[in-house]
Amino acid sequence: MDWFGRAKIKFTHHVSPIPILSKDGSQTDLLKICETSTPPCQLNPLLFNGHLQTMWTAVGKDAPEIHYRRQIFNSNHANYTGTFAVDFVVPPHEDRHAKLPPRTAYFEDGKFEAIGSEDSRPMLIVLHGLSGGSYEIYLRHAIAPLVMDNGGWECCVVNGRGCANSEVTSGVLFNARATWDVRQVVKWARKTFPNRPLFGLGFSLGANILTNFVGEEGSGCLLSAAVAVGNPFNLEVANIQLQNSFLGKELYQRVMGTNTRKLIMRHKESVSKFTNLNFEAIERVTYLYEFDREVQTVCWGYPTESAYYRDASSSDSVLGIRIPYFAIQSSDDPIAVEAAVPYQEIKSNPYTVCLTTSLGGHLAYYEIGGGRWHAKPIVNFLRNMAETINLKSISHQVNGDTVVEPQYASSFDPIRRKMQVEVAE
């Protein structure tokens, strides 16, 4: 047990992390930025393991009051049609909408159309965890220092389809592999705010989606950097470990299964128009893997939930990342289990660094007094990148020093997750 809640910290990284120039002309690298962004991890000693930390999330409800305005985006993907909701952080307002989460209201007529700006304020695009939304407590703790009290940042949260009281308008639901909505928002933000540096932040399922996205985009990614917190990475490994322990199955799998079942049943009428889901079977769902079997496989065409987990996992996507990427994990996380963290892939990619703490649970990190430690390295890293780093220096060459590119077998595509073998004629 760590002494009085003082967690051990370790960094996993490439032997030669990407070199980066500071605005003052001095040279640093990705690892040094991550290290200087990470303060000592002193957590509440009464919550001395990952289960207690994670369970306390049902009790510790204090969080900064973030206000949002919601815009409904029409998907521009040819195959994955429908709509999704994006919540933008705005100054405090008194508007209330009975069907939206607290402190959230729609944009007033004409306001969203005029949102474009030439300013250079950094902008954060956030993805939440499974069945959550912009209202999540862990999320608000992390973004509050950046957006409140003249923090200087702009921020929006991309809600999963059907989440955060958004409507389902097609047969497409949230999915750990679904990167197209965040891709659309990032492209929209680049066009709408041409001078803003864009950053990504994802939690849990959202961290998995964000990792898949930046891996798919590679060197063409429009984000300047990304932070992923509590990423399950290898969903099949995480699922197996959860099923093989009593608390994993009877607590975490059961809670997540119940939450997702309630979510889909809330949208039963609209979803029924677009899918052939068996709602009688869904009503009997107890565990998350049962939900994935009854819902995700049917909606997305996977033969089994294991096939979905393998396809949606972001562990291989780490190999394709070509922007500064900072992962924050806890080795006692009972949901995003350490066995699923792709440490070897992280070591092979100079654009990625993983911070692992020995305590913290799943998106918990409760300090004495109720603060959330994970907010500190997130905020420090993002501020360092936006305020002290010459973002234009982040390329394959810095001050004449060529970045050591990851070397893989030429036939392996980390995004397709398959070795491509040419058949001899």
Cβ pair 191, 290 in contact under 8 A: no
In sequence order, what DSSP letters do the residues of 67-125 get, joined into one string? Answer: EEEEEEEEP--SSS-SEEEEEEEES------TTS-TTEEEPPTTTGGG--------EEE
- Would you call 333 a catalytic residue per the annotation? yes
Which of 37, 131, 134, 204 is catalytic? The answer is 204
Q: What are phi and psi of 89, to 5 degrees?
A: -70, 130
Beta strand 104-106 with 67-74 is: parallel
Which residues 6+ apart lie within 8 Å of 41 measured at CB? 6, 7, 9, 357, 359, 360, 365, 373
Beta strand 19-21 with 27-29 is: antiparallel
- Would you call 77 a catalytic residue per the annotation? no
Nearest to 329 by CA among 319, 320, 339, 321: 339
Token pair belonging to 355: 């911070």
Rounded to the nearest angstrom, the gap between the alpha carbon of residue 167 and the centroid of all alpha carbons in its chain is 21
Nearest to 349 by CA among 10, 12, 14, 3: 14
d(CA 209, CA 200): 11
SS3 label, residue 412: strand
In sequence order, what DSSP letters do the residues of 4-38 get, joined into one string? Answer: GGEE-EEEEE-SSPPEEEBTTS-EEEHHHHHHHH-
Token pair belonging to 169: 């308008």
Which of 87, 292, 316, 333 is catalytic? The answer is 333
Which residues 6+ apart lie within 8 Å of 258 measured at CB? 286
- Would you call 93 a catalytic residue per the annotation? no
Beta strand 154-158 with 123-127 is: parallel
Which of 13, 51, 362, 374 is catalytic? The answer is 362
Q: Which residues are catalytic?
A: 204, 333, 362
